[in-house]
Structure 1
Amino acid sequence: MVEIKDLFKRFGRTEVLKGINLTIRKGKVTAVLGPNGSGKTTLIKTILGLVIPNSGKILVNGKNIKNDYNYRKIIGYMPQQAVFPEDLTVREVVKMLMDVRGKGYNPKILKSFVNGFDLDRYYSKKIRTLSGGTKQKINALTAFMFDPEIFILDEPTVGLDPISSSFLKDKIRDEVEKGKLVIITSHIMGEVEEIADDLVFILEGKVYLKGTVEEVIKMSGERNLERAIAKLMEKGYHVKAS
């Protein structure tokens, strides 16, 4: 479980997070949504320990993460755009990560992703020769291969073809069924509606809405999540967090 309590963050005079309080539970896919500049990226980076808050705290499995980065070992992070050494082959990147992380990778998961993404034929190719979609597949592979307890997936299906996208979404649901905690961000509302259980809508550094996807759609009076979110973002439309 991830607990966020009274989290504030400012950059200079700009207050980006303004007292965030959230509990994100295992066995769920939680989508963190919001327009550009809302603070959602800062929130994600704070959970990852890449941004240090001015005040407040984050607990992972009941333990405060402040000054303790060992918790990162249980997180599989998939950034929107992964950066790998351009002159290494796919095989060398995978081996490098195994060496850096040490023991702990799951060979069954590795094989499943290599087969599901048809990565065998790219294993000897250098990263710089690969398409954006293939790099995204490697990005997903490296996030899952160490069998983490927590997944943070930033726009996970961007650049993927429909078959690969479906494969990854199935893998996400498989992990949730094992009791894992999954946080995603996405601009594709149909995707969020398909795979997310809970939704957190961030606006101007605050939690404006939280609840299940079904609750959000019902509350908005719209017929799907895309229209519900559009309504939330209309000027002058305010929703209190549940």
Structure 2
Amino acid sequence: MIKLDHIYKSFGRIPVLKDIFLDYGQNQAIGLIGPNGSGKSTLIKIILGMVLPQKGEVTFDGKPITGQSQYRRHIGYMPQMSRFPANMTVSQLFHMMKKLRKDEKQRDLDLYHAFEIEQMGSKRLEILSGGMKQKVSAALAFLFDPKVLVLDEPTAGLDPIANEILKEKLQKSLGNDRLILISSHILNDLDDIITHVCYLMEGEVKFFKPLEQLRAETAENRLNRIIAQVLKQEKNHV
């Protein structure tokens, strides 16, 4: 569905992504993880067309994304930090989004209702707490029932109840030829959601494997212990 073919990106003289080759497919929920500065956010922005690589090509359903934006209609994006129009109310934001995409009749309102977005409809976006903004952002990401979900630190700032609601929604969303890509430092939140792990370090893909394969290779069940075991094994082999 989304293929990154030999992507290279640098900022000035500093390489951020080094010859990245990845092929993300349908019915995958991928945990994109790695330490700070590993290139995760840049990779996401390249997929979304927000950053252009110096080398390589990104394709969506077999078509290059360069020079076209229609593919983004199939992507629901939840950024790490949402920057909404300050003076707009929550209701106005959702009304605007529906008007901009009025041709798309398929709507997914599960999170809109679960997070009680309608009850905060009259609030201006600039006064919302970080957790409330996360709820609005999550509801928007799912709103048009996209076949690709890209979520950057989705559980950051959410209270425990909202966190579980979002995780349950993600679990239910896998399938129907959908692709889910989640970048997160909170590995415990990914254990029951993801099917694959893509680990970046210093701008390189260290591994991209099914979670079940990693569990078999490490004899560990929890993702944080799996990652620790894999990195320990690599260190011992150096």
- Give the count of matched residue pairs: 238
Q: Please list every run of 5 or more consecutive structure 1 residues that lacks an aligned counterpart in the other structure.
A: none
Q: Is the 8 A contact 2:80 2:152 kept in 1?
A: yes
- What residue is the counterpart of 1:191 in the other structure? 189
Between 228-237 and 147-156, report the one with greater CA deviation: 228-237
- Write out per-residue CA displacement over residues 90-118 of structure 1, whole angstroms, 9 at most, x where no aligned residue: 101111222233331544x23x2232112
Cα distance change, pair 169–116 in 1 and its aligned pair in 2 (3 A): same
Q: Whole-Å Cα distance in 1 between the matches of residues 193 and 124 of structure 2?
A: 33
- What residue is the counterpart of 2:91 in the other structure? 91
- Write out per-residue CA displacement over residues 40-91 of structure 1, whole angstroms, 9 at most, x where no aligned residue: 1111111010110111111110111111221111111100111111221110
Q: Whole-Å Cα distance in 1 between the matches of residues 181 and 190 of structure 2?
A: 11
C-alpha deviation, 1:236, in angstroms: 6.8
Aligned runs of 1:174-213 on 2, under 5 Å?
174-213=172-211
C-alpha deviation, 1:156, in angstroms: 1.1
Cα distance change, pair 36–233 in 1 and its aligned pair in 2 (3 A): farther
Q: Is the 8 A contact 1:200 1:211 kept in 2?
A: yes
Aligned runs of 1:143-182 on 2, under 5 Å?
143-182=141-180
Between 142-151 and 126-135, report the one with greater CA deviation: 126-135
Q: Is the 8 A contact 1:26 1:176 kept in 2?
A: no
Q: Whole-Å Cα distance in 2 between the matches of residues 223 and 239 of structure 1?
A: 23
Q: Which runs of 4+ in 1 moved over 4 A?
A: 231-236
- Write out per-residue CA displacement over residues 100-145 of structure 1, whole angstroms, 9 at most, x where no aligned residue: 33331544x23x2232112222111111222211111000111111
Q: Are residues 1:228 and 2:226 paired?
A: yes
- What residue is the counterpart of 1:80 in the other structure? 80
Instruction: Tell me the TM-score normalised to structure 2 length.
Output: 0.92
Cα distance change, pair 239–23 in 1 and its aligned pair in 2 (3 A): farther
Aligned runs of 1:43-58 on 2, under 5 Å?
43-58=43-58
C-alpha deviation, 1:163, in angstroms: 2.0
Q: Please list every run of 5 or more consecutive structure 2 residues that lacks an aligned counterpart in the other structure.
A: none
